[in-house]
Amino acid sequence: MRSARRLLGSVAVAVLAASALAGCTTTRSTETTGSISPSAPLGENEWRREVEFAGQAYRANAKDTAAAVRYARALREIGQRAQAAAVLEQATIANPRSRAVLGAYGRALAEVGEYPKALDILGKAHTPDQPDWRLLSVTGAVLDQMGRHEEARRHYASALNLRPDEPSVLTNLGLSYALSRELPRAEETLRRAMARAGADPRTRQNLALVVGLQGRFEEAEQIARADLPTEEAAANVGYLRQMLAQRQDLKQDANRPAPKQARPARPGKPQKLAGSPE
């Protein structure tokens, strides 16, 4: 059921995951910007080798911004998010004006739940005279995690003005609507993201989640199957059904009137119990 939990937890965290795709993408030998290429993503074992390789370069020169960002990215990919944030914190001390380091550090802070600090760092990385759609999208993601959805959507709108129909930004916007329970709008926006070249598989899985949350389980399973084995897709939808059923039961219990309490015995003459002598 691990994959099901990943899917169902994605509305809470995938806004940040989608934003991270818009930042620097590391391969074993190069560093580029943009979404991860769907034709050649790195697997877990490759990311672990990247940690070793990038870690050596970082330790050789901890003040090298490219080495720090690359090493931190690899650490994030294997789940070492707190260590990645620590690496980038040191990099910002050595390079306090590097927008690349500040942007990466802001994302890393958001991924470990330090949203106010992440917002402050991202604000330093982004300047109005040099607008960056990636930083705008990440900032929107952080605001969404803080419950500030309207502010987040203004940032996504600005990002889309700079990068029209960018799938990672549309994914963030769709998940923003999902977080505020505007599911039809979330579905429409995620479908727009899926229609664009370069859409990440996580976008499809979040679309499946949003469709399932609207009760269309068979359709959700069909969408999920495009990227997942049949058993995992079915497990995701099954877990979603179970979660929604439990939520409905709780809702019904909350709306059910409380049972009437028996009247307290009036003082004075004792109550006669069944079977007691006259």
**Strand, coil or helix: 143:** helix
Residues 9 and 57 in one domain: no
Is-above-0.85 flag for pTM? no
Residues 94 and 163 in one domain: no
Residues 114 and 32 in one domain: yes
Residue 2 in tokens? 């691990």
Residues 47 and 113 in one domain: yes
Domain boundaries, position 190: 1-19+148-245
- Measure Cα distances from 263 to 37, 267, 272 in Å: 71, 12, 15
Establish if 182 belongs to a structural domain: yes
Residues 106 and 56 in one domain: yes
Which pLDDT score is estimated for 258? Answer: 57
Band (pLDDT 50/70/90 cuts) for residue 33 is: very low
Please provide residue 137's backbone torsions phi and psi, each rounded to the nearest 5 degrees.
Answer: -65, -45
Establish if 250 belongs to a structural domain: no
Q: What is the pLDDT of residues 38-85, one digit of tens each?
A: 334 677 889 999 999 999 999 999 899 999 999 999 999 999 999 999
Q: How many other C-beta atoms are found inside a 10 Å radius of the C-beta of residue 243?
A: 14
Q: What is the pLDDT of residues 98-113, one digit of tens each?
A: 999 999 999 999 999 9
One-letter amino acid for residue 229 of the chain? P
Mean pLDDT value across the chain: 78
Residues 177 and 113 in one domain: no
Domains of the chain: total: 2
Establish if 135 belongs to a structural domain: no
Residues 165 and 198 in one domain: yes
Establish if 211 belongs to a structural domain: yes
Establish if 164 belongs to a structural domain: yes
Q: What is the pLDDT of residues 7-19, one digit of tens each?
A: 444 444 444 544 5
**Partners of 130 in the beta sheet?**
127
Q: How many other C-beta atoms are found inside a 10 Å radius of the C-beta of residue 118?
A: 26
Residue closest to 14 by CA, chosen among 204, 158, 163: 204
Residues 172 and 117 in one domain: no
Q: How many other C-beta atoms are found inside a 10 Å radius of the C-beta of residue 81?
A: 19
CATH number at residue 197: 1.25.40.10
